A and B are shown apart, each in its own frame.
Chain A
Amino acid sequence: MDLDFTPQERAFRAEVRDWLAAHVPERLPSMDTRDGFEAHREWERLLADARLSVVSWPERHGGRCASLVEWLIFEEEYWAAGAPGRVSQNGIFLLAPTIFSYGTAEQNDRFLRRMARADDIWAQAWSEPEAGSDLASLRSRAERVAGGWRLYGQKTWSSRATYADWGFGLFRSDPESTRHRGLTYFLFPLRDVTVRPIAQLDGEPGFAELFFDGVFVPDCQVLGAPGDGWRIAMATTSSERGLTLRSPGRFMATADRLVRLARSTATDPALADEITRAWMDTEAYRLHTFGVARRIASGEEIGPASSMGKVFWSELDVRLHALAIQLLGERGLLAGDAPDAEDGGRWLDGFLFSLAGPIYAGTNEIQRTIIAERVLGLPR
């Protein structure tokens, strides 16, 4: 057991750090505005040109076959450099691992390269008005037609869908089925779907409702076998919950900013104690992730234990931001364009963003139940 980076890992870190120092832009407008979305797309293309948009992918799809530890190093450097949020994250972190595992060769070639360059930006379409945490109760359906399927129904809380190009989600393809059976995983262009933007807590249309009125999807845009959608989607959601989406880098960067803020502000001892605890928990999350990365690298399935990470990081993220806002007092709640705003309102933006964490990808109540039943073995 060690915590020493190899010369190769250190060289990779240095390369990434140098490139980011030379290229990270001034703060971009919110990716939930039209201009901001396109500015983030341009940034993704710049990353892709340096083969840094999807470092862990195979080279033929635009990556550089980085190991998990190298990917974690990339993330540490990325967020420490204050680089923009990833507008393509639903595609590259959620969908891509599923295409690698279940996609046809044609699907791999057709979608991944364009995804890596943000030529196509993807939105997820899981939840429905009556199927949130209880995703298996979904009712949107797919009807078999010649050469493909027609999709009907409604999806909601679809992140990035307002401006994205493509969507992915589950539909009930067997009308006789219930719950987890008879679901199929579809890939569809959003231009064929009616999209109604929904304003989030920050007022911007970060997610949207999707209405399907007989949208045609050819067979080549079914991911995996028809009826096998639940199993395939669960592989994706455990990516979202676990290691692949939530690298520690972002929380480490936030904890560093929080500590710098606390050092430059008169800090109440009680608050200082909470900040210390949050810093320590960030370190715990980093070390824990190194351990998980090692287990994955040696072929272990993490499975439901990834729910522990999801609860931990999402609640940590809220605490880190809430503490900064407490340190700043009323100034902490000023919008970015207010004259007295601290750091362009980044703490407030981050705070509102963090509040979604304990809700999405399965609420933390659901996660705790998963931990109790599937990790600890308590009865249902």
Chain B
Amino acid sequence: MKFAFTDDQLALASTVRQVLAAHCPAAAVRQAGKAAPAAERLPAWPQLAEIGFFGMLVPEPHDGLGLGLADAILAFEETGRAALPGPVVETAAVAPGLLGDDDLLVRLAEGRLRVSVRLGDQVYAPDADLADLLVVERHGELRAVPAGSVRLTPQAGVDPVRRLFSVAFGSPEAVDGGKPQLGRRLDVSAVHALRTATVAVAAQLVGLARHLLETSVEYAKSRRQFGAPIGSFQAVKHQLADVAIAVDFAAPLVYAAALAVDRAGRTAPAGGVDSAGPTVAVGEVDRAVSAAKAAAGEAATRAARVALQVHGAIGYTGELDLRLWLARVWSLASAYGDTGVHRSRLRAAILGTPDLTRWP
């Protein structure tokens, strides 16, 4: 057993990190939060497309890299670290498992198709105005709908970059011969899509938390009060140490969940690519997914809370880029089920208590 990333997996993450450092600086994230044209709201997307980022999970016959979620999980972590704008997880992680169509998969792999989703009981579709295609779950069925054929209502919120939209069907433009345009039915498992989204977002939360910890440590080293750097005070040190511990112990749960989703995806009857690999009990996969999201959400929320406290009043302003990372943590911590929901699902699985929650 080797619970460590391979050189290839590390190299992929490192490449993504370099691209994001060059093409998605904090200023670009800030600009994406303004009323800007789509091109400015998607920094680094063309460069990520060039390195094959959007084809990571697309099968090789469709011009993708044919990787599993576990191979790409560190790359998703990097998109969190950089607070990369746009429907990243929905396009690069979820869509490859949903779209069976040759042409769509090729476009996806080339970075010419952006996708947003509204799965399960999820209320809003994130970044839907930037998507070409929406995948929505209605009455247990997945449908792919061209974004132009539904009515999107923006629901402005705490995160100016990751915008949320209500999706309504049957808009006048969408009516075709009196029937609402419901798009094409996708014959794949919504469960697999939801698990994938949840774990990829958990990885982004780990990345966000790592960035917040590094930023807070740097600030605590340079900010002086009482004649000393505030990072020399134990009350500050111990808070940051607790963030480091929370992140260090959340990350392995996320990586293990990615492995579990991959194994389940290989054996799932609906979304299955092939039937190789050991079978996994469904309860085990959902436990791994929920543990990952609960722990990553909690670690990132703690990192955000401590980052704000360590920065003090300057952190409470819109002047610092910090606020963009704080908002993304809050936004993603509640996406695809928050910590409470996932711990409740875990509780039901472990203790046999009724599961009263809805996921997401």
Q: Which residues of B contact A379 (CB under 8 A)?
A: 221, 228-229, 231-232
Interface: A279 (CB within 8 A): yes
A residues 297-345 with Cβ under 8 Å of B?
298, 305, 308, 311-312
Contact assessment for B343 and A376 in the assembled complex, using a CB-CB cutoff below 8 Å? no
1/0 contact string of B219-240 vs chain A (CB within 8 Å): 0110000001101101011101
Contact assessment for A262 and B351 in the assembled complex, using a CB-CB cutoff below 8 Å? yes
A residues 260-290 with Cβ under 8 Å of B?
262-263, 267, 269, 272-273, 275-277, 279-281, 283-285, 287-288, 290
1/0 contact string of B68-109 vs chain A (CB within 8 Å): 001000000000000000000000000000000000000000
1/0 contact string of A347-380 vs chain B (CB within 8 Å): 0000000000000000001011101110111111
Q: Which of A6, A285, A288, A365 contacts B238 (CB 8 A)?
A: A365
Contact assessment for A263 and B352 in the assembled complex, using a CB-CB cutoff below 8 Å? yes
Interface: A22 (CB within 8 A): no
Give bound CA distance, A295 to B294, whole Å: 26
Give bound CA distance, A375 to B232, whole Å: 14
Contact assessment for A287 and B2 in the assembled complex, using a CB-CB cutoff below 8 Å? no
Interface: B50 (CB within 8 A): no
Contact assessment for A280 and B343 in the assembled complex, using a CB-CB cutoff below 8 Å? yes
Contact assessment for B245 and A308 in the assembled complex, using a CB-CB cutoff below 8 Å? yes
Contact assessment for A1 and B249 in the assembled complex, using a CB-CB cutoff below 8 Å? no
Q: Which residues of A contact B5 (CB under 8 A)?
A: 1
B310 to chain A, nearest CB (A): 11
Q: Which residues of B contact A106 (CB under 8 A)?
A: none
**Chain B contact patch, size range:** 35 or more
1/0 contact string of A82-113 vs chain B (CB within 8 Å): 00000000000000000000000000000000
B146 to chain A, nearest CB (A): 38
A242 to chain B, nearest CB (A): 13
Q: Which of B3, B6, B221, B238 contacts A3 (CB 8 A)?
A: B3
Q: Which of B346, B351, B352 contacts A280 (CB 8 A)?
A: B346
Give bound CA distance, A293 to B3, whole Å: 9
Q: Which residues of A contact B9 (CB under 8 A)?
A: 1
Contact assessment for B343 and A1 in the assembled complex, using a CB-CB cutoff below 8 Å? no
Contact assessment for B346 and A267 in the assembled complex, using a CB-CB cutoff below 8 Å? no
Nearest-neighbor residue (CB-CB) of B5 within chain A: A1
Interface: A291 (CB within 8 A): yes
Contact assessment for B241 and A368 in the assembled complex, using a CB-CB cutoff below 8 Å? yes
Nearest-neighbor residue (CB-CB) of A69 within chain B: B1
Nearest-neighbor residue (CB-CB) of B213 within chain A: A376
Contact assessment for A6 and B343 in the assembled complex, using a CB-CB cutoff below 8 Å? no
Contact assessment for B244 and A280 in the assembled complex, using a CB-CB cutoff below 8 Å? no
List chain A positions with a Cβ less than 8 A from chain B.
1-6, 9, 69, 259, 262-263, 267, 269, 272-273, 275-277, 279-281, 283-285, 287-288, 290-291, 293-295, 298, 305, 308, 311-312, 365, 367-369, 371-373, 375-380
List chain B positions with a Cβ less than 8 A from chain A.
1-6, 9, 70, 213, 217, 220-221, 228-229, 231-232, 234, 236-238, 240-242, 244-245, 248-250, 252-253, 255-256, 259, 278, 291, 294-295, 343-344, 346-347, 350-353
Question: What would 19 A/B residue contacts be, using CB atoms closer than 8 Å?
Answer: A1-B4, A2-B1, A4-B1, A5-B1, A9-B1, A272-B351, A275-B351, A287-B252, A291-B252, A308-B248, A367-B241, A368-B242, A371-B245, A372-B240, A373-B237, A376-B213, A376-B241, A378-B231, A378-B232
